């Protein structure tokens, strides 16, 4: 377990929403950790602090102490803790506004148009 905040914050989403967001981000995604039914994006510290709430999505790091399991670099298959998108020298943090936009679209698509998604 690694404390969120000193080097990166994290955004957690259920795997169904996360997979859709990954499709939307394409090559713009940074490293992504998966653990059973959750996915975690690493983002710059404090960059999601003022996000409007998205149903089923949680920003970790800004408000309270949080920890995320970080798998060994070569662990790239699951369902247990693994890199869904491996960490590497050219793939580390995801741009926070791009991620927020992709997650908002994914939430709307997965949960339906009658769910309020803050913009």
Break the chain down into helix, strand, coil percent, rounded to 5. 25, 25, 50
* The pLDDT of residue 20 is above 60: yes
Q: What is the pLDDT of residues 45-87, one digit of tens each?
A: 989 888 888 999 999 986 678 899 999 999 999 889 999 999 8
Task: Give yes or no for a contact between 88 and 31, defined as CB atoms under 8 angstroms apart.
Answer: yes
What does the pLDDT read at residue 119? Answer: 46
Considering only residues 117 and 29, tell me which one the structure prediction assigns the higher pLDDT: 29
Question: In angstroms, rounded to a whole number, what is the distance separating the alpha carbons of residues 55 and 1?
Answer: 25
Would you state the structure tokens that stand for residue 104, as one six-digit string? 């908002």
pTM score of the predicted model: 0.90
* Residue 116 neighbours by CB under 8 Å, 6+ apart: 55
User: What are the residue ranges spanned by the domains of the chain?
Assistant: 2-111
* The pLDDT of residue 25 is above 70: yes
């Amino acid at each position: 377990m690694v404390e969120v905040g000193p080097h990166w914050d994290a955004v957690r989403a259920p795997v169904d929403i996360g997979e859709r967001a990954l499709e939307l981000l394409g090559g713009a995604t940074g490293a992504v950790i998966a653990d059973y039914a959750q996915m975690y994006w690493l983002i710059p510290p404090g960059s999601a602090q003022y996000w409007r709430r998205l149903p089923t999505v949680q920003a970790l790091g800004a408000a309270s102490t949080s920890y995320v399991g970080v798998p060994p670099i070569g662990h790239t298959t699951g369902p247990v803790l693994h890199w869904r998108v491996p960490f590497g020298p050219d793939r580390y943090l995801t741009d926070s506004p791009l991620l927020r936009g992709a997650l908002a679209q994914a939430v709307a698509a997965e949960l339906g148009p009658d769910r309020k998604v803050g913009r």
